[in-house]
Amino acid sequence: MSRTKLAVTAIAGLAIGAAAAIGVSPALRERLLPSPPTTRVMGQALVGGPFQLTDHTGRRVTEKDFLGRPTLVFFGFTFCPDVCPSGLQVIGAALDKLGPKGQAVTPLFITVDPERDTPAQLAAYVKSFHPRLVGLTGTADEIRAVAKAYRVHYAKAEDAKSSAYTMDHSALVFLMDQKGQYATHFRPGTSVDAMAAEIAKLL
Ligand code: NI
């Protein structure tokens, strides 16, 4: 087992442990919502756009704060048991694989669960994946608007027997260029090498 795989397994294990600790039933696991069909359908103009959010340090930010550098944009939530941790692990490893060039890229993790993902919650979470990973949260309306701009679907899935809930969400990673425009996207399960190679085309 590679070091990366081990790390993914360890982090997923921690997340599942955390879920168990707060009383989420094993049946209440994240389901993935369908991803938009093809790159051709997802034209440049259709993905991305202006947003107003709060980062994990509590600073208010907009899309303009990230212009001039490519960004990797991933939507998820910190209580996610498996999909988000493994997606973030791949993002971190792909940036590290690019070496010094990778420092030109800003990875963004936008929560679809602003109710629980406060800036403080995000701050504790993002640092376990990559030192430059930026966690973003906002009001319910702000999250709805940015998810719509990226054509990301999400929905609360409540447990009938308790107050626990999880979030269903689409889990594409979007690569946006230096001008904030859509370059490409990655599906869940994309390898570190494949992601790094695509990012390198923009650098
Ligand atoms: Ni997730």
Return per-residue pLDDT of the chain as tens, 203 residues.
Answer: 444 444 444 444 444 444 444 444 444 445 566 555 444 445 455 899 999 999 999 999 999 999 999 999 999 999 998 889 999 999 999 999 999 999 999 999 999 999 999 999 999 999 999 999 999 999 999 999 999 999 999 999 988 888 889 999 989 999 999 999 999 999 999 999 999 999 999 99
With vertex at residue 128, the alpha carbon angle to CA 165 and CA 33, rounded to the nearest 5 degrees, is: 35
CA of 31 to the centre of ligand 1 (A): 8
Please tell me the predicted confidence (pLDDT) of residue 48: 94
Separation of 100 CA from ligand 1 center, angstroms?
Answer: 28
Contact 149, 50 (CB under 8 A): yes
Å from CA of 147 to ligand 1 middle: 14
Output the pLDDT for position 17: 42
| Centroid of ligand 1 to alpha carbon of 56 (angstroms) | 18
Rounded to the nearest angstrom, the distance between the alpha carbon of 50 and the centre of ligand 1 is: 23
Sorted by sequence, the CB contacts under 8 Å of residue 199 that are 6+ apart come out as 70, 72, 94, 95, 98, 102, 105, 175
Phi-psi region of 125 (alpha: psi -120 to 50; beta: other; left: phi over 0): alpha
Per-residue model confidence (pLDDT) at position 33: 61
What b/e string do you get for 57-78 counting C-beta neighbours within 10 Å, with b at 16 or more? Answer: eeeebebeebeeebbbbbbbbb
CA of 135 to the centre of ligand 1 (A): 14
Cα 80 to ligand 1 centre (Å): 4
- What distance in angstroms lies between residue 171's CA and the mean position of ligand 1's atoms? 7
Using the mean position of ligand 1's atoms as its centre, give its distance from the Cα of residue 94 in Å. 19
Please tell me whether residue 93 adopts helix, strand or coil conformation. Answer: helix
Give residue 22 CA to ligand 1 midpoint distance, Å. 17
Ligand 1 centroid from CA 141, angstroms: 20
- The bridge status of strand 173-176 relative to strand 182-186 is antiparallel
Q: Which pair of structure tokens corresponds to residue 157?
A: 């899935």
